[in-house]
Homo-oligomer: A and B are copies of this chain.
Amino acid sequence: MSIVLAGGAGFIGCKLVAHFLGLGQHVLVLDNLCRGKQEYIQDLQPQAHVHFVNIDLANTEKTLQTIRDFHAKYPVQAVWHMAANSDIPAGIADANVDLNDTFMTTFSLLQAMKALGLKNLAFASSSAVYGDHGPTCKLHENIGPLLPISNYGAMKLASEALISAAAESWLQGAWLFRFPNVVGVPATHGVILDFIRKLRATPGELQVLGNGTQQKAYLHVEDLVEAMLFIVAHAKEKVNVFNIGPEDAGCTVAQIASETVAKVQPSAAIRYGEEPRGWVGDVPKFLYSVEKLAALGWKPRHSSLETVRRAVAEIAGQEAD
């Protein structure tokens, strides 16, 4: 049996590739290498089980053809779709970015799966589908309306919707993971990496976008992978929607800034902007419910702050190499 891993050369995808290789499976890694890197998967063993194709998944024809060829040799058990644009401001500046990389990737994969009779799909959705419900509303899976404030969030919600419709007519199992902020290595983007790179460029000070009060839930990539695999193993509805995250209310950008400065450049001054948001499309503060996941039986072992501390050390190590 084998797995198709869209976005498999990315930060999260490469961890899943390693997991499935460990189970003895062949893995078809589909990635446009926009953020992902081949080096993230080139040392994984057995390398003969890693089948990498550099592909634009918005290309429906080519996606079908590539999966068809692989499926003929290694019958595909499930598709894991972790591919997306991860640069939210870029997607707001040009809606085509999230249309192609975040939504059409889903459309193409579904078209290919339908044509080939592949019936199980695990999908990386996002807390961004909720939009801004204010700092006191707990975001659990059964609230609405869903009014995303970025094209990234919009195209994640659009993808969920299309997967849900497919489950009504031909898809047998769908697992929609609504991710929090995920940190760890290999870091390709995100606030910690940005801070570390800024501190290397300007060691004396760290300029922070926004006033530092933005608060978010952080999960380590290894905990995230564990949670996803747990959900697929235990959630048996046709369409399974789960928030994944830590149990706390998150930590602030100011806390991340101070952890990063303490680790990387203790003498640097931290300077904040005045806006409560870092950029358009950034939800300033929200409470994320992971009660549904806890009821299923999985709980995170680390707080947001512990996770951030671990990731700062890991990413500082990555950037020092």
Chain B proximity of A97: nearest CB distance (Å): 12
- Across the interface, name the chain B residue whose C-beta is closest to A143: B144
Given contact pairs A144-B141, A145-B241, A241-B145, A281 touches B169 in the complex (Cβ within 8 A): yes
Q: Which of B141, B144, B145, B165 is in CB contact (< 8 Å) with A154?
A: B165
How many copies of this kind of chain does the complex include?
2
Across the two chains, which residue of chain B brings its CB closest to A99? Answer: B107
Chain B residue at smallest Cβ distance from A110: B95
Contacting residues of chain A (224-253) with chain B, CB-CB under 8 angstroms: 239, 241
Report if A103 contacts B (CB, 8 A): yes
The segment from A49-57, A156-164, A267-275, A294-302 that touches chain B is A156-164
Which of B132, B154, B168 has a CB less than 8 Å from the CB of A161?
B154
Q: How far is the CA of A146 from the CA of B153 in the complex (A)?
A: 14
Does A32 sit within 8 A of B, measured CB to CB?
Answer: no
A2 contacts the other chain (CB 8 A): no
Q: Does A184 contact B (CB under 8 A)?
A: no
B contact residues around A99 at 8 Å (CB): 107
Contact of B142 with A164 in the complex, beta carbons under 8 Å: no
Using a CB-CB cutoff of 8 Å, which residues 147-193 of chain A contact chain B? 147-151, 153-155, 157-158, 160-162, 164-165, 167-169
A264 within 8 A of B: no
Q: Find the B residue at minimum CB distance from A94.
A: B111
Give the Cβ gap from A153 to chain B, nearest Cβ, in Å. Answer: 7
Whole-angstrom distance from the CB of A59 to the nearest CB of chain B?
A: 14
Q: Does A90 contact B (CB under 8 A)?
A: no
Task: Out of B142, B145, B165, name the residue touching A148 (CB < 8 Å).
Answer: B165
Q: Give A145 to B145 CA distance when docked, in angstroms.
A: 9
- In the complex with contacts A95-B110, A95-B111, A146-B168 CB distance below 8 A: no
- Determine how close the nearest CB of chain B comes to the CB of A207; give it in whole angstroms: 23
> A1 near B: Cβ within 8 Å?
no
Whether B131 contacts A150 by the Cβ 8 Å rule is no
| Complex contacts, A116 vs chain B, CB 8 Å | none
Question: How many angstroms from the CA of A23 to the CA of B143 in the assembled complex?
Answer: 39
Pick from A95, A241, A281 the residue with the most CB of B within 10 Å. Answer: A95
A157-B161, A158-B162 known; A168-B145 Cβ under 8 A? no
Among candidates B107, B144, B165, residue contacting A281 with C-beta atoms closer than 8 Å:
B165
Report if A280 contacts B (CB, 8 A). Answer: yes
Q: Does A254 contact B (CB under 8 A)?
A: no
CA distance A95 to B107 in the complex (A): 8
Q: Given the interface contacts A99-B107, A157-B158, A169-B281, does A164 sit within 8 Å of B147 by beta carbon?
A: yes
* Interface residue ranges, A against B (CB under 8 Å): 92, 95, 99, 103, 107, 110-111, 114, 129, 131-132, 141-151, 153-155, 157-158, 160-162, 164-165, 167-169, 239, 241, 280-281
Q: Which 3 A-B pairs have the closest CB atoms?
A: A158-B158, A154-B161, A149-B168
